[in-house]
Amino acid sequence: MTNATGLSLENPGGLTSKINVRSDMVFKVPDNITDEEVAMVEPTAVGLHAIHLADIKVGDKVLIIGSGIIGLTSTMFAKLEGASYVAVSEVNEARGNKAVELNVADEYFKADDKFLETVSSKIPTGFDVVIECCGNSNAVGSSLMTVKPGGTVVLVGVSLNPVTIPTVVAVMRELNLKGAIAYTKEEFKTCIELMSNKQIDVKKFVSEIVGLNEVQSSYEKLTSGDSDVIKILVDPNIY
């Protein structure tokens, strides 16, 4: 049995069977939610916060760049907010296709050399909203290039290093650029309620549940770039 104390930069927590956290960081969850769903509340709340900041209007066309778990929860909420068409772009074809197969995205665009050309022939006016869920300069640059003039780009992806982006596009198109970090307590509670009321299904994003001895191989699978695996949950009680 492993133990961890608190969540901080020095001790990011997780991957442990017991953990001490501040009482104000604990939420009581209803009995009708499974442990798998509880583990999914956090990334689901990230998607909800991004969509709240995006201020999507009914009928909007939305592009989500990157279809990892953050991209997919954002895609799910973009639809629930009333977007009429939500596409994802991905460099990993298996993940892009899965976003459509899971019935979350309407369409998948491969993020290759022809990406901008393909998107502009399909959506010549540009997307009303683009949510960037990768953090690299290619993806952030694509978000600026695919949104309509005056449109909104929400930056969710994190890069610890500076990224190079064509700022002139943001200037010329008078874009609204917003950063999104984490979620509010209310949004976290909302995700618990949505799961408890069976209004969202996030179990479909859980590809595998593994024990601590499979953590390394799971990270390798997730970062391979060609796997369709989305979310791997770690159950520290599995040996």
Ligand X SMILES: NC(=O)c1ccc[n+]([C@@H]2O[C@H](COP(=O)([O-])OP(=O)(O)OC[C@H]3O[C@@H](n4cnc5c(N)ncnc54)[C@H](O)[C@@H]3O)[C@@H](O)[C@H]2O)c1
Contact residues toward ligand X (CB under 6 A) are 46, 65-71, 89-92, 95, 111, 133-136, 138-139, 142, 156-158, 180-182
142 vs 152 by CB, closer to ligand X: 142
25 vs 181 by CB, closer to ligand X: 181
Query: What is the number of H-type helices and E-type strands within the chain?
Result: 8, 10
- DSSP three-state, residue 214: helix
Nearest alpha carbon to residue 150 among 83, 55, 35, 27: 55
Phi/psi of residue 187, nearest 5 degrees: -65, -40
C-beta of 1: minimal distance to ligand X in Å? Answer: 27
C-beta of 184: minimal distance to ligand X in Å? Answer: 12
3 vs 52 by CB, closer to ligand X: 52
46 vs 175 by CB, closer to ligand X: 46
C-beta of 84: minimal distance to ligand X in Å? Answer: 22
C-beta of 97: minimal distance to ligand X in Å? Answer: 12
Q: In the complex, which residue's CB is closest to ligand X?
A: 68
Nearest alpha carbon to residue 81 among 52, 40, 119, 103: 52
Residue 118 DSSP symbol: H
The β-bridge partners of 63 are 87, 130
